Chain A
């Protein structure tokens, strides 16, 4: 089958999307914009991890995607907590 060639044709599109997300993550005027950019970058990276794991034919590489999804959610919650603590005065 042509799985490797198809993935080699699709991955450059993901790289273009990475560049677009990075532009917003570096530019974004307010802090929530930066955090949204990091969020999208990391979800893009999770897809790249799994798709390149199929490309290399090494199934053990896939375990890196689950901690990525969990810890980026933790980063969201930290920043939201930091912003709300300043307005509540604690």
Chain B
């Protein structure tokens, strides 16, 4: 009973991750500047990477055909999801800070930019 519950919960989380990755892929291609694309990338890294990996750990806990090393697989999956949960926002933040400081990516359809008003391109089309 409890094994079936773990396996069904994990498979649901994996399917949720596939849906979130599709949404993030469409968003990364449709948004108009780098800082908006960062928003879509956050969906792809938290909903699309942390939750499916934790779900795979739950599946490994309840799935009997994996053999005696299934608890090893579950532990490695939980450690990986925790690492991604910490590291992906840190990497995105470092990248956005470098891009804004060195004026690599302009803020194209802009309303207000309090950090550096000269990077604000008002009403930009494209």
**Complex contact flag A–B (Cβ < 8 Å):** yes
Name A residues whose Cβ lies closer than 8 Å to a Cβ of B. 1, 3, 6-7, 10, 13-14, 16-17, 19-21, 23-24, 30-33, 35-37, 39-40, 43-44, 46-47, 50-51, 53-54, 57, 59-60, 62-63, 65-66, 69-70, 72-73, 76-77, 79-81, 83-84, 86-87
Specify the main secondary structure of chain A where it touches its partner.
helix
Q: Are B91 and A30 in contact (CB under 8 A)?
A: no
Judge if B110 is at the interface, Cβ distance under 8 Å: no
B97 at the interface (CB under 8 A from A): yes
Any chain A CB within 8 A of the CB of B7?
yes
B69 lies within 8 A of A59 (CB) = yes
Take A39-B92, A80-B98 as given contacts and tell me if A70 and B87 are in contact as well, using a CB distance cutoff of 8 Å: yes
Q: Which residues of A contact B104 (CB under 8 A)?
A: 30-32, 83
Known: A6-B11, A31-B104, A46-B80. 18 other contacts (CB 8 A): A3-B11, A3-B63, A14-B21, A21-B28, A30-B105, A32-B104, A36-B28, A36-B38, A43-B44, A43-B49, A44-B21, A47-B17, A53-B56, A53-B73, A54-B59, A54-B73, A65-B80, A81-B98
Say whether B98 contacts A46, CB under 8 Å. no
Q: Which residues of A contact B7 (CB under 8 A)?
A: 1, 3
Binding site for A on B (CB under 8 A): 4, 7, 11, 14-15, 17-19, 21-22, 24-26, 28-29, 34, 37-38, 41, 44-45, 48-49, 52-53, 56, 59-60, 63, 65-67, 69-70, 72-73, 76-77, 79-80, 83-84, 87-88, 90-92, 94-99, 101-102, 104-105
A21 and B69 within 8 A (CB): no
- A30 lies within 8 A of B80 (CB): no
Q: What is the bound-complex CA distance between A81 and B53, given in angstroms?
A: 30
Using CB atoms, name the residue of chain A closest to B25. Answer: A20
Top-8 shortest CB links A-B: A20-B25, A76-B91, A17-B21, A59-B73, A80-B98, A13-B18, A59-B69, A32-B99
Query: Is B48's CB under 8 angstroms from A24's CB?
Result: no
Alpha-carbon separation in the docked complex, A84 to B76 (Å): 35
